[in-house]
Amino acid sequence: MTRENKSLEAVKNKLMAQALKSVGRVGWNGLDIQKLSTETGYPPEMAEAVFPAGVADMADYYSRKLDAEMLESLEDVDPKDLKTRERVATAVMARYRAAAEDKDIFRQTLAFWSSPNRLPRGGKILWRTADIIWQWAGDTATDYNHYTKRALLGGVITSTNLVFINDTGGTLTDTEDFLKRRIENVLKIGSLAGSIISKVKR
């Protein structure tokens, strides 16, 4: 990373830290990004300069932040020691544990991306997270399996999100149990689909 990029990331991180103090309460749409800039010690236009699409870029950056924290927490985990389903579950739960520090922010982010006009970008963000998880899990597929795995995992994450935001247990046991059941189900579906496609190709 160049010095310029590091400086840009530093600005983004500082603005994000300030934003996250309010997002859980007012939502992403409730942020005044010019005021946010001045509160952080920057000129009023700074947030718009580094987040050109405004709060949408900031909500996206929050998701990237969770992905990064997930990977950081997995640094001491060797995926080769785990079965495929365990790798995926371990990574997804690592992300939820990062988000659990302030569930209200996570909840507001889900609500933000659920707006019809934001669904396309929200879908891309979900795909990016699923791709990061599969890459960490060691997936090297380049055929239809590459897309199938990420689409299926995206569905798993979407359904598990609802369990997570309502999971009041500090250990997230309900979330993890639900997640593991969903992963087990989709892996069976994926295997069945692969078997059918293989037969069709013969």
Global pTM reads 0.90
> In terms of Cα–Cα distance, which of 122, 139, 119, 142 is closest to 131?
139
pLDDT of residue 23: 98
Check: CB of residue 67 under 8 Å from CB of residue 136.
no
pLDDT of residue 191: 55
pLDDT of residue 200: 39
CATH class of the domain whose range is 55-201: mainly alpha
pLDDT of residue 199: 43
Please report, in tens digits, the pLDDT of each residue of the chain (202 residues total): 566 667 999 999 999 999 999 999 999 999 999 999 999 999 999 999 999 999 999 999 999 999 999 999 999 999 999 999 999 999 999 999 999 999 999 999 999 999 999 999 999 999 999 999 999 999 998 888 899 899 999 999 999 999 999 999 889 999 999 999 999 988 776 554 444 344 434 4
Show contacts of 58-61: CB within 8 Å, 24+ apart.
Answer: 58/15, 58/16, 58/19, 58/28, 58/31, 58/33, 59/28, 59/109, 59/112, 59/113, 60/121, 60/125, 61/12, 61/16
Q: How many Cβ atoms are within 10 Å of 110's Cβ, its own excluded?
A: 15
